[in-house]
Structure formats: C-alpha cells, structure tokens
Amino acid sequence: MADEFDLVVVGGGPGGYVAAIRAAQLGMNTALVESDHLGGICLNWGCIPTKALLRASEIHHLLHHLDEFGFAVDNIRFDMAKVVARSRKVARRLSLGVSGLLKKNKVKVIDGRGRLSAPNTIAVEKDGKPVAELSAPHIILATGARARQLPGLEADGDRIWTYREAMVPTAMPKSLLVVGSGAIGIEFASFYRQMGAAVTVVELLDRILPVEDEEISAFAAKQFTAQGIVLHTKSKVGGLKKSADGVTATLETPNGEQRIEVERIISAVGIVGNVENIGLEAAGVKIDKTHVVVNQWGETGVKGVYAIGDLVGPPWLAHKASHEGVVCVERIAGKDPHPLDVTSIPGCTYSMPQIASVGLTEAKARAEAKERGSEVKVGRFPYLGNGKAIAMGEPEGLVKTVFDAKTGELLGAHMIGAEVTELIHGYVIAKTHETTAAALAETIFPHPTLSEMMHESVLDALGRRIHL
C-alpha cells in the first residue's frame, strides 16, 4: 500500500526543497524525493561553489594589485587543491543545512529517483530497486536540468569539461577555450583568467552576454578584453583534435578559420530539462524542447501534477525556481498568490566585473514603446563619478535605468561593476512595487555608497543629474 501524503515533491533543488518547506508551513503532510544531494545543482554544483571559486579569484586579483593600496607582498602563489576543497566544503555545509531545514519542518525525505507511475502516485527507486510508493493528490516535479551537449563537443571529463569538471580541476590549466558566453561561460572565463590562465571565449551570436542590454554587453567585452580574454563573436567551433597535451580547436569566425591550441575546453552552451524517465509521457504531461509546459501557477494540464524550476521555462535561475515553488504551493493550499512576473526576476553574473539586470533592455523597451505610441527615458551614471567606487579602487562600471516617459514606470535596470549583484535588488523592489522615477528621485540614498549611483541614474533619466 502506498504511503499517503498531501503533497509529494520530486527533486530537492532550490525549487523543490523550498516548495516542500512552504507546504509544510501551510500544514500539508509533505514528502520530498531526492536521488542525489539536497540543494540540487545550484547548491552542490552551481551557484554556491562557483561563488566560492570566484571569491578566490577576486582575492588573487587583489593580491596582484596591492601596490595601488600601499602594500607589498612577494611570492604570491595559490594551492589549487585547497581552493577547490574550500569550494566543496562550502557546498557540503549548505547541503547539510537544507537537510536540517527539512527535518525541522517535518518534511519526509526519501532517498531515490521518483517517477509518475499512476495517477496521483510516485514510484521511488534506488539503484534500480523499488524503495517506496507514494500517493498524493498533488505532485510537484522539480527535477531540474543538465548541461547541453553539442555534437562534436561532447564532454569527456578530461579535455572537454562541463561546469562540473570545471569546478574541480586537479591543476590550473595554462590555457582554455570557453564555448558559450552566457552567465555560466563568462563566470568560468573570468575565474580562470583571474587565476592566470590564457582564456578564449567563442560565442555564436553577435555579442557576449546576449540576454543583457547591448550597452552593458559592449562595456563587459571591453573590460574582459583589457584583462586579456580573447573574445570571438559570430563564431563557432568547427572541429576539435585531441592530443596528449590538449586540444586543437578550429574556430569558424567572420575573419575566416582560426586554429588555437588549449589544454582544456569548457562547454557552456545551455541546458536541457531532466524530463526522461519520470513518467511524463505516460501521464500525458506536455513537453516542449526538453522542458515541461506549465501555466502561471505551475500546472501542467494533468490534474494534480505541477512542475517548477529549470524543468520548465526560462529564465533558468535558482531564485526563480524558489519563487515558483512558493507560488505553486500557495495556490494548491487555496491562498491567493500573485503569479510570477518574469520581467521582475533579476539576473546576475558574478564575473569581474559583475553584471546584474532586471526588466527590459533599452532596445526591447523602445520597441514596445513604439508599438504603443509611447517613448522611454534612459538614465546613466558611471562608476568613475562615484566617490565610494574610486575609494575602493573600482572605478570601472555603469548603472543604467530605463523608464516609460509618460508614466515614469521603471521598465528595466542594467548594471556592470563592483558589487552590482548586491545592488540590483533595489531596482527589483522598485519594479515589483511599481515605484516611479519621480518617487525614486525623492528617495534618500546614503553617502558615500555605491548605491548613490542608482539614484544618480534615475536623476539622469529625468534630466536632473547633479554629479558629473
């Protein structure tokens, strides 16, 4: 006989475990099925351990620029094994924390792989053997995604890496090629370059960080190039030849074929949803391009079956998955949550410099404004005009805001520079609560802080900029 619950969640990543905890808080008898590590890819092989690595690269960069602050250090070196070990330790600590939270909230955690086996039923297996059968009127699928593999560029764990291998190098490669310039690719490119490797990035589209505002992408490209990263846009890998010493890659670029020799290649060309072997087809759940199709509440169209996180549509971000989990559960519990507003989801890239954004790019905002017969106002403020940025030794950056010219609605905000991933939430709050440019202009920002640039960008959009 199946164990009965009010809700069963399949997948313990940032969407799944948050959904399970919120359900328990609302009085639902909840089970969570997870086959690997609690916390999912984000906590164990993504967001968290990569930030630990990037912190090490920031320290390495700072140590090589100590003379700017009046310090001198000789014989700077690092131990790659210790750098990686610290990253893994951080991930393990937080994974144990998730386990503790689930236990505290009385969520039943079941070790194994869950599969829809019948209506309102999840069959759980471990190492090919049945573990449990769970019954619930509501089932949330949160099985996440994995790295996309391109033909001819399949990861082998040796010369060609995915993000997993790139996070645990046994030694620092002298050179590497990063294929793909989204957030994941750029973060790894930044980490390895700051740690001393020669880095080349190849991107199929006409600019790096293609989902970001064009002006921010161009600013980032200039900064990365100055750091020594070689960027090839409108380019692709035409062929690979492995050897005992590395890989020879043939790049098809606008200037013709180029051959480069590198020790390692990192493939960062997107993700595919983990839709296989979880019973979707038999249950009648619709799949589109490896991702489950859902409505604004996470409903799949099959009664009692829901999906959230990287398993469903973009943007594929941990904080989006967590929010989807809460909305989905509160809807199930009969609450009245607001549906997810994709335009209010912030995106962050933790490279050096950092990039952060929310809402529409300037180009998208202008296109939409033209359709409705309206206009936009754009404000900008450079890091070079901010006292705190200069004092920190971080004078390169830009804050950009886009408003509806008539209503003052904040349509988008785009930032590049030191700590922008910590600043973007100010604009997210403003956008979520429909704060206008006029209201932001009347807000008092503390001095001296980086956040003052957020204010100055708004004032610039209104033609009221004071500094510079």
Tens digits of residue pLDDT in 346-396: 999 999 999 999 999 999 999 999 999 999 999 999 999 999 999 999 999
Q: Which residues pair with 31 in a beta bridge?
A: 8, 108
Distance CA 177, CA 262 (A): 7
Could you tell me the fold of the domain covering 353-461? Enolase-like; domain 1 (3.30.390)
Alpha-helix runs per DSSP H in 181-290: 183-194, 214-226, 280-283
pLDDT of residue 237: 96
Could you tell me the fold of the domain covering 3-147+272-342? FAD/NAD(P)-binding domain (3.50.50)
Q: Output the average pLDDT for the chain.
A: 96
Distance CA 144, CA 46 (A): 12
SS3 assignment, position 160: strand
447 catalytic per annotation: yes
Domain ranges in the chain with CATH number 3.30.390.30: 353-461
Q: Which residues pair with 199 in a beta bridge?
A: 176
Q: Provide the greatest CA pair distance for the chain.
A: 72
Residue whose structure tokens are 């998955």? 321
Alpha-helix runs per DSSP H in 333-419: 362-371, 387-392
Quick one: average pLDDT of 281-290? 96
Which residues are within 8 A (CB) of 289 and not within 5 positions of it... i.e. 6 or more apart?
A: none
Q: Which residues pair with 249 in a beta bridge?
A: 240, 260
Share of residues in the chain with pLDDT > 90 (%): 95
pLDDT of residue 244: 87
Distance CA 400, CA 215 (A): 9
pLDDT of residue 43: 84
pLDDT of residue 40: 86
pTM recorded for the entire structure: 0.95
Distance CA 104, CA 21 (A): 9
Distance CA 182, CA 178 (A): 10
Q: How confident is the model at residue 1 (pLDDT cuts 50, 70, 90)?
A: low
Q: Using an 8 Å Cβ cutoff, are 343 and 329 in contact?
A: no
- With left for phi above 0 and alpha for psi between -120 and 50, is residue 141 left, alpha or beta? beta
Class (C level, CATH) for 160-267: alpha beta
pLDDT tens, position by position, 321-354: 999 999 999 999 999 999 999 999 999 999 999 9
Selecting among 433, 447, 455, 467, the annotated active-site residue is: 447
Domain ranges in the chain with CATH number 3.50.50.60: 3-147+272-342, 160-267
